[in-house]
Amino acid sequence: MARPIILVSNDDGIYAPGIEALAEMVAEFGDVYVSAPAGERSAQSHAITLHAHLRAQEIKPRWHAVTGTPVDSVYLGALHACPRLPDLVVSGVNNGFNLGTDVYYSGTVGAAREGRLRGASAIAFSVDYHADPRILEPTVRALVPAVLERHRDGERHLLNVNAPTAPNNPTAPPQVCRLGRRRYRDRVEKRHDLMGRPYFWIGGPADQQGDVLGEDTYAVHHGHISVTPLTIDDTADSLKTWSDEIDRRFDP
């Protein structure tokens, strides 16, 4: 049986320490190709570059630095750098959590989701800010073969994994959780440039208030590694509500 092809990407850029650690950790499970942004492209979500050209530089064998977004990197990597479509796309290890509603902003998750949309299985890995990406090693060793086995059987999965700085017990099994609601102390800061014109900084620090048991935010804030399976079908279960509503409003 052919060795699986594993495409590695991230949003912190190809020179970030986390991607090198991830590429090394998955190497035993398949043929590894790396395609990642040439620089920091965090919080790019699922952005794709369709109105400008991209360049890709092979900085070492099978490692391509792409001038675009994380999704551009996976698109190029999957359809151009890899000899065939990858079986697995892994993204990270991100420097900083991607918990709860962060998945809507995260380039790390965006890269993994792009892999899933292209028919691969995918896992996004993140650790607390400045944590050692290697704390995910036992989790990588458990999850990557499991996802690859299921992929061979025709299943497709997209997982989001987060690890706190110092897990209570790094070899303890991760907790499988729902996405939480990531709270931030939202801020809009207005400043003035040298011409006296206003400009703004948005965003604020995370807030751990209101974590709920069973959610990824709660798990990592209590010292556990979290694993959340994600779906790419955003359809809500209110189909019937809206079908009835439309029927009523269009009833002649």
Joined together, the tokens standing for residue 82 give 């890899």
Query: Which amino acid is located at 144 in the chain?
Result: V
Query: Which amino acid is located at 136 in the chain?
Result: L
Member of 35, 42, 121, 162 binding Mn ion (CB under 5 A)? 42
Joined together, the tokens standing for residue 103 give 């998945």
Phi, psi of 125 (to 5 degrees): -120, 130
Q: Which stretch binds Mn ion (CB under 5 A): 36-44, 109-117, 173-181, 228-236?
A: 36-44
Member of 6, 12, 88, 226 binding Mn ion (CB under 5 A)? 12
Q: Which stretch binds Mn ion (CB under 5 A): 3-11, 148-156, 174-182, 200-208?
A: 3-11
Q: For Mn ion, which is the closer residue by CB, 12 or 87?
A: 12
Neighbours of 21 (CB within 10 A): 21
What gap in Å lies between CA 211 and CA 102, rounded to an integer?
A: 14
46: Cβ–Cβ under 8 A, 6 or more apart, which residues? 71, 110, 113, 114
Joined together, the tokens standing for residue 129 give 């800010």
Among 160, 126, 100, 119, smallest CA distance to 42 is for 126
Q: Which stretch binds Mn ion (CB under 5 A): 53-61, 93-101, 137-145, 198-206?
A: 93-101
Q: For Mn ion, which is the closer residue by CB, 19 or 158?
A: 19
Minimum Å gap between C-beta 132 and Mn ion is 16
What gap in Å lies between CA 38 and CA 203, rounded to an integer?
A: 24
Minimum Å gap between C-beta 94 and Mn ion is 4
Does the protein bind Mn ion through residue 11 (CB under 5 A)?
yes
Does the protein bind Mn ion through residue 69 (CB under 5 A)?
no
Q: For Mn ion, which is the closer residue by CB, 5 or 220?
A: 220
Q: For Mn ion, which is the closer residue by CB, 94 or 162?
A: 94
What gap in Å lies between CA 138 and CA 159, rounded to an integer?
A: 16
Q: For Mn ion, which is the closer residue by CB, 42 or 139?
A: 42
Burial class (CB in 10 A: 0-12, 13-18, 19+), 111: buried
Q: Which stretch binds Mn ion (CB under 5 A): 65-73, 88-96, 128-136, 189-197?
A: 88-96
Minimum Å gap between C-beta 169 and Mn ion is 26
Place of tokens 């360049």: 55
Member of 9, 44, 69, 94 binding Mn ion (CB under 5 A)? 94
Neighbours of 68 (CB within 10 A): 21
What gap in Å lies between CA 126 and CA 102, rounded to an integer?
A: 11
Using CB positions, name the residue nearest to Mn ion: 42
Minimum Å gap between C-beta 69 and Mn ion is 12
Q: Which stretch binds Mn ion (CB under 5 A): 87-95, 113-121, 198-206, 214-222?
A: 87-95
Binding residues vs Mn ion (CB under 5 A): 11-12, 42, 94
